[in-house]
Structure 1
Amino acid sequence: MSLILGDEEKKEIEEHQGEVQANVVEEEVVNTELDKYWKAVRDNPGDFTGWTYLLQYVEQEKKLDQARKAYDAFFEHYPYCYGYWKKYADMEKKQSGPEKAIEVFERGTQAISLSVELWLHYINFYTEEYGKLEYGQEGIRGIFEKAVTACGRDFRSDKLWDAYISWEENLINKTTLYDRILQIPTQLYSHHFENFKHHVLSHHPKEILTLDNFLLLRKEVVVGTSELNPEEEAAGDDGPPGVIGPPGEDAPPGMEVEGEKTDDEEAGKLRDRIINVREEIFKKTEDEVSKRWNYEEAIKRPYFHVKPLEKSQLKNWKEYLDFEIEAGDHERVVILFERCMIATALYEDFWLKYAKYMENHSIEAVRLVYMRACRIHLPKKPYISLAWAAFEERHRNYELASQILSELDNNVPGLVMVNMRKISLERRKGNTAMAEALFQDYINNASQPEISSFFSIKFARYLLKIIGDTDRARTTLQSAIEKDRGNIKLYLQLLDLEYQCRPISEERVIKIFASILDCENFPLETKAKMSQRKLEFLEDFCASITTLKESYDEHQRLMKELHNERKKRPLDTVTNDEPVEKRPKVEGTQNGSGDQSQMTGMDPYYGHWGSYANSGYSYPPQQWGYGQHYYPS
């Protein structure tokens, strides 16, 4: 074989390489477009429109693996979209066969079991594919039974029942189906009763009833009638001897005995009896329908959609649920809740209502409700996940409670209330080491100094009140102040800590006040309030009158400085257009908390502290209390 290629062979190879390169480029373009669609939904799984674009793209490309991946990911977030389950099943039928389509239908009907449309689509598909096979009829009946068990008690399940009854060829089974639907309040309850009467009048009673039921009914109707009318029965036996033939032998034409012509009359009585018994049931069903009719008429969007529901719709669902709960039929309540959750899947208050109701019936059912809400429909809604974690903790399932909180923390990072709930869970478990480790982690890795300070305050309280370690609590607050000097809450918490020590340390408290008054981060107003509180502390606990007098002199200098500053900016802070003379005056209050700057010819703080120099130290009693330490006005 020659290794030297001719011109024609070279040309063929070059053309082939060109085709391969073109295919590679096209594949890269396709992959790039697909990645863009995937990136959109991965960055924001709640972008429903982005998901629809992705599904449209994979459907057009007709690449089964890509389509399966896209559909499976979509249904992890939106399992109530029955139309997409139908599309998925149809795609599997075309590209991989009916077995895969059945798998999709089974998944879909489990995810949204109340979808009558999806069940009917499944039944039609199965009938088309397997209806003529030997086991086909039983398979269809099995799907129908699963369907009516799942959603047959839904108020709007009439199409499913009609389809089942129309398909059923066995007259006795038809009667059984009518007996079931006539007891259920549905939208077309009257239609079903009319169809049932037509069914009864079109067939002989022994054709539509089981043998036992037929004989029992005949005994009630015919025998009962004979006992009431013995003369009529005897009259039928007065014919001449020999006229009545042996049993089973038909009389010749024209020779029938008059008494034997009563079969039609008997059948008529049996039909009347059958209908009358069901009519009593029908009237009860009609009464139940009338109670629910207004609620059902008010439901305008029973299907799932990402768009918000109108307030009137939410109100109607709530009132409808309250009605069914009060009625007390547990199965009907669950069916209505499931219907409601399709339309209100994105509203956590309805999931909470569902879980609360189920707590009186089944712990596992409650867990399943929370699981569907938190892991499928509302993974980024904190309150429903916090409620689930609290539920599991109440039932001593601490591991799952911790897992729920961790999942929420991953889905919505940075929520302080979630972090505090994780700490509290460990504290209630008695796991102090883990609680302290979480505190330290949140303090050190906080995204903002304010958040770190918040956890520092909480940690200090924990150390002081739970662990009883005052020194560590003090150190925690002092470290936080070093990082966030302008946070007055840290200083106030440190003051509160020192106030609770026995005996109280005057030196430490004065040092804290000094650090506040010397800090450049605080405005004069804040310093004035803290200076006043310092005086109050010294009044109660100071051992030296000299120290108290020095602090008063410092306070007076601070007040004059504040007064001069306010005089320089009398109108700078005015934000409304109302003239100054028309604005209401604010009454002066003790502790300097009122605005006394409008008092002419007087230092705004003199009314409170002016008598100090004249009377040795005898300023009026204060109204401020230690409970105000946390959040000064």
Structure 2
Amino acid sequence: MWSIMAAEGTGDPSNNGELTNPPVTELYEPGVADLPKPDIEESVKSGADGGDTGISTASYTAEGEEEEEGEMPTDFERLWKLTSDNPQDFNSWTDLLQYCEQEGHMRASRQALNAFLVRYPLCYGYWKKFVDLERQAGHNDKAEEVCERGLKAIPLSVDLWIHYINLLLGTLNMNLPDSTRRIRSVFEEAVAAAGWDFNSDRLWDLFAEWEKEQANLKSMTSVYDRVLRVPTQLYNTHYEKLKTHLTSHLPQDILSPEEYSKVRSEYKQSQIQAKKERSDITADEEERPPGEDEPADNDSEEAVQKMQELLLVSREEVYQQNEAEVRKRWNYEESIKRPYFHVKPLDRAQLKAWQSYLDWEIAEAETAAMTAEGTAVEGHEDSKQECVAGHERVLILFERCLIACALYEEFWDKYVHYLEPRGLEEVRNVYRRACEIHLPYKHSIHLQWASFEEKHGNISEARRILESLEITVPGLAEVRLRRVGLERRAARLDVAESLLKETVDQSKDNPTLHAFYSIKLARFLHKLCKNPARARAVLQEAIELSPDNGRLYQNLLELEMSSDLRANGGVIQQCVAKALAAPLSPKTKILFSQRGLQFAEDFGTTVQSVLSMYEEHQKLLQEHNAKREAENSDNDDPEKMSKMDDGSSLMVPPQTAPPTMPHAPMTTPPPSMMGGDMSGSYGSYGSWYQQQYGGYGSYQNPWNQYNQYYPPS
């Protein structure tokens, strides 16, 4: 037992032997995750009691113990407040935990470790510290509970499984049969959870050595046979130990009855075949009559040796297949430099290494699946087993990756896309772990989760996710609009409208945001509720608050133009006039003037309205050109200007096509292109209009800049 317990924590990452997790002091040097700071105090509270993680954080204080220990240490409240104010500051947490450890205060240590491990459950070193803390205090049951919590949070941690087994070996009465069964059961759970990890060698070795100490050589053989099929770093070491084990004991002592009978039968058949080839068959070796038993005899030394050789031959083939799998993965494994969790960012090379490894393993599994599908008719069991094994390897690799890359949502997203065709509940569990534990402030993956639930008909869960996200990261327009869209698609227009109205009311202190939500509400009322009057009122109220926001006038104009143009022409012209009188930029006013002029030309009832709009438009163009000329004259080079004055550098400008509005507008109508009675003012305007617009398309480009205001909703 002591040799088994001594195996814990002996791995050296720099050694060729095992690539294991480094010590706690090396693993958690100060560093702060590159994550947004929480905006609300509620997130601190939920982090302290485990409300948002799905990990149990039941109280571990023994009855009456709190009163005996008295008050918290002197600096505990100060350090605790630092973690509460900014729970993502890893330095604050390590300072708090180190202080509690130095003080040796049980209740303070429990409170700090519970809160910390809710936020950082992948820190296996602190789970071990927590277990040791409880055990040293004499609370073996609580130490076991803490260990089980840690293994639920990070089931791939070989170190934590070994720590758990050593805890049981040190606390259980191993003279009792139930204790032996309990340890074996934990070993089975451990290899089922972490045994396919490339770095799980210590766990397999520990299992085999423990079976040896129990004098259960047959189970020891079974353990080595199982690990012989698993691609691990020390695959060759396991095979050498298995060969030593097979050649150091009698076959009947290390093999199951079925395998022993099989290998003994193979040995005898080989002997008979050999003698037949020599034509030296005795009477005893000939076929016996039916019903006559085979004479009893003990295995000779030669027979034992031959059977051992047969055992090695059968396992050599498995070893060769496993070695091929290891070689395919070796370079990928060598590229992984930090297989454990840390808040410090990974460099690009490491992120790329994980991506490449995952892509390759997924491709391998897909190839195995296609092979199994092709041989399904023939009933090849080996192909089916390899297909299942390929999928399991992908899952294990994803879980390993999401220990080191837990703070990178692209890997969670990749995991989801792999799992979705295979099972919805598995996808849901991945989303829950990502959003509720590791990425509580990354809104993108929360929105994906909500879309996933809505897609599969779980509207209430999608609603809960979005509401929870909005509490965690308040003020995100994308989240509020996603909530509005969810309610709209669920045919709850009243709820969607109330959400928009609430946001409009709450954003009055921010004119830009208020205008944005007002436009959203106006469009909702106009397009979905079919109530242009209320939509108009919303926009007009927003214009009063933000009279210099051109987008509000644009939306109001669009609203008016969507109605009956024959009955609403005067209102449209009033809307244009209101925009022209507002404190908008000259370019924006020119756009509105151009829109009004085109409306008058297309839908005006009198020619006077067209001429009036034309004159107003001309005034705006002249003012804009005068301002541009003044600005240009201020920037002219004096030497250049002097050359132009004496006529030494005059150049004839090249002939170009008529400019398009509003970049270089004409200030006066061109002369009539046709003779006769086209010399009147309206005829001149008509020619100007043709040159300026040339078609409806010249209007479209500048006006469509309005679309940039809206993100896709």
TM range (shorter): 0.7 to 0.9
The structure-2 alpha-carbon separation of the partners of 1:568 and 1:370, relative to structure 1 and needing over 3 Å to count, comes to same
The structure-2 alpha-carbon separation of the partners of 1:142 and 1:588, relative to structure 1 and needing over 3 Å to count, comes to farther
Name 1:624's counterpart in structure 2.
698
The CA distance in 2 between the partners of 1:235 and 1:168, in whole Å, is 45
The structure-2 alpha-carbon separation of the partners of 1:48 and 1:76, relative to structure 1 and needing over 3 Å to count, comes to same
Name 1:214's counterpart in structure 2.
260
TM-score (norm 2): 0.76
Whether the 8 Å CA contact 2:600–2:610 is kept in 1: the answer is yes
Name 1:549's counterpart in structure 2.
611
Name the SS for the 1:350 alignment partner: helix
Name 1:196's counterpart in structure 2.
242
Name 2:308's counterpart in structure 1.
271
Name 1:487's counterpart in structure 2.
549
Deviations 1:604-629 (A, max 9, x none): 52377776947343121343345754
Name 1:185's counterpart in structure 2.
231
Question: Is 1:305 the equivalent of 2:351?
Answer: no
Aligned ranges for residues 492-507 of structure 1 at < 5 Å?
A: 492-504=554-566, 505-507=568-570
The CA distance in 2 between the partners of 1:268 and 1:133, in whole Å, is 36
Which of 114, 126, 131 pairs up with 1:84?
126
Which of 394, 416, 421 pairs up with 2:455?
394
Deviations 1:106-137 (A, max 9, x none): 11111111111111122122212225342332
TM-score (norm 1): 0.85
Identity of aligned residues (%): 41
Total equivalences in the alignment: 573
Q: What is the one-letter code of the residue matched to 1:165?
A: A
The CA distance in 2 between the partners of 1:572 and 1:366, in whole Å, is 65
Deviations 1:553-574 (A, max 9, x none): 2222222222222232227789
Offset of residue 469 of structure 1: 1.8
Question: Which one is further off, 500-509 or 432-441?
Answer: 500-509
Deviations 1:246-272 (A, max 9, x none): x88xxxxxxxxxxx8971111111111
The CA distance in 2 between the partners of 1:586 and 1:178, in whole Å, is 89
Name the SS for the 2:422 alignment partner: coil
Name 2:92's counterpart in structure 1.
50
The CA distance in 1 between the partners of 2:141 and 2:205, in whole Å, is 27
Offset of residue 502 of structure 1: 2.8
The structure-2 alpha-carbon separation of the partners of 1:29 and 1:429, relative to structure 1 and needing over 3 Å to count, comes to closer
Question: Is 1:289 the equivalent of 2:337?
Answer: no
Name 1:601's counterpart in structure 2.
none
Aligned ranges for residues 78-477 of structure 1 at < 5 Å?
A: 78-130=120-172, 132-134=174-176, 135-169=178-212, 170-230=216-276, 231-232=279-280, 234=282, 263-328=300-365, 329-446=390-507, 448-477=510-539
Offset of residue 66 of structure 1: 2.1
Name 2:38's counterpart in structure 1.
none
Name 2:103's counterpart in structure 1.
61
Offset of residue 585 of structure 1: 12
Aligned ranges for residues 511-526 of structure 1 at < 5 Å?
A: 511-520=574-583, 522-526=584-588
The CA distance in 2 between the partners of 1:519 and 1:157, in whole Å, is 72
Structure scoring higher RCO (CA < 8 A, sep ≥ 6) equals 2
Whether the 8 Å CA contact 2:669–2:685 is kept in 1: the answer is no
Deviations 1:468-524 (A, max 9, x none): 22222222212211211111111111111222213451111111111111112x122
The CA distance in 2 between the partners of 1:378 and 1:407, in whole Å, is 13
The CA distance in 1 between the partners of 2:620 and 2:602, in whole Å, is 21
Question: Which one is further off, 461-470 or 340-349?
Answer: 461-470
Name the SS for the 2:705 alignment partner: coil
The CA distance in 1 between the partners of 2:274 and 2:586, in whole Å, is 107
Q: What is the one-letter code of the residue matched to 2:189?
A: K
Question: Which one is further off, 465-474 or 404-413?
Answer: 465-474
Which of 673, 680, 683 pairs up with 1:615?
683
Offset of residue 323 of structure 1: 1.5
Whether the 8 Å CA contact 1:154–1:335 is kept in 2: the answer is yes
Whether the 8 Å CA contact 1:337–1:354 is kept in 2: the answer is yes
The structure-2 alpha-carbon separation of the partners of 1:503 and 1:550, relative to structure 1 and needing over 3 Å to count, comes to closer
Offset of residue 200 of structure 1: 0.6
Deviations 1:258-290 (A, max 9, x none): xx8971111111111111111111111111111
The CA distance in 1 between the partners of 2:633 and 2:82, in whole Å, is 52
Instruction: Point out where structure 2 has 5 or more consecutive residues left out of the alignment.
Output: 1-68, 287-294, 366-389, 645-652, 673-679, 709-713
Name the SS for the 1:617 alignment partner: helix
The CA distance in 1 between the partners of 2:655 and 2:229, in whole Å, is 72
The CA distance in 2 between the partners of 1:605 and 1:131, in whole Å, is 100
Q: What is the one-letter code of the residue matched to 1:515?
A: K
Whether the 8 Å CA contact 1:89–1:105 is kept in 2: the answer is yes
Q: What is the one-letter code of the residue matched to 1:507?
A: G
Q: What is the one-letter code of the residue matched to 1:393?
A: E
Name the SS for the 1:173 alignment partner: helix
The CA distance in 2 between the partners of 1:64 and 1:198, in whole Å, is 48
Whether the 8 Å CA contact 1:496–1:629 is kept in 2: the answer is no
Offset of residue 228 of structure 1: 4.1
Q: What is the one-letter code of the residue matched to 1:402?
A: R
Whether the 8 Å CA contact 1:535–1:551 is kept in 2: the answer is yes
Question: Which one is further off, 91-100 or 622-631?
Answer: 622-631
The structure-2 alpha-carbon separation of the partners of 1:571 and 1:82, relative to structure 1 and needing over 3 Å to count, comes to farther
Question: Is 1:593 the equivalent of 2:653?
Answer: no
Q: What is the one-letter code of the residue matched to 1:325?
A: I
Name the SS for the 2:126 alignment partner: helix
The CA distance in 2 between the partners of 1:233 and 1:265, in whole Å, is 19
Name the SS for the 1:162 alignment partner: helix
Q: What is the one-letter code of the residue matched to 2:358?
A: L
Offset of residue 526 of structure 1: 1.9
Offset of residue 184 of structure 1: 0.7
Name the SS for the 2:342 alignment partner: coil
State the structure with more CA Rg: 1
Deviations 1:537-558 (A, max 9, x none): 1111111111221222222222
The CA distance in 2 between the partners of 1:471 and 1:229, in whole Å, is 106
Q: What is the one-letter code of the residue matched to 1:146?
A: E
Name the SS for the 2:93 alignment partner: helix
The CA distance in 2 between the partners of 1:482 and 1:292, in whole Å, is 66
Which of 628, 633, 636 pairs up with 1:566?
628
Q: What is the one-letter code of the residue matched to 1:141?
A: R
The CA distance in 1 between the partners of 2:402 and 2:629, in whole Å, is 63
Name the SS for the 2:87 alignment partner: coil
Whether the 8 Å CA contact 1:37–1:54 is kept in 2: the answer is yes
Q: What is the one-letter code of the residue matched to 2:165?
A: I
The structure-2 alpha-carbon separation of the partners of 1:524 and 1:148, relative to structure 1 and needing over 3 Å to count, comes to same
Instruction: Point out where structure 1 has 5 or more consecutive residues left out of the alignment.
Output: 1-25, 239-246, 249-259, 597-603
The structure-2 alpha-carbon separation of the partners of 1:76 and 1:264, relative to structure 1 and needing over 3 Å to count, comes to same
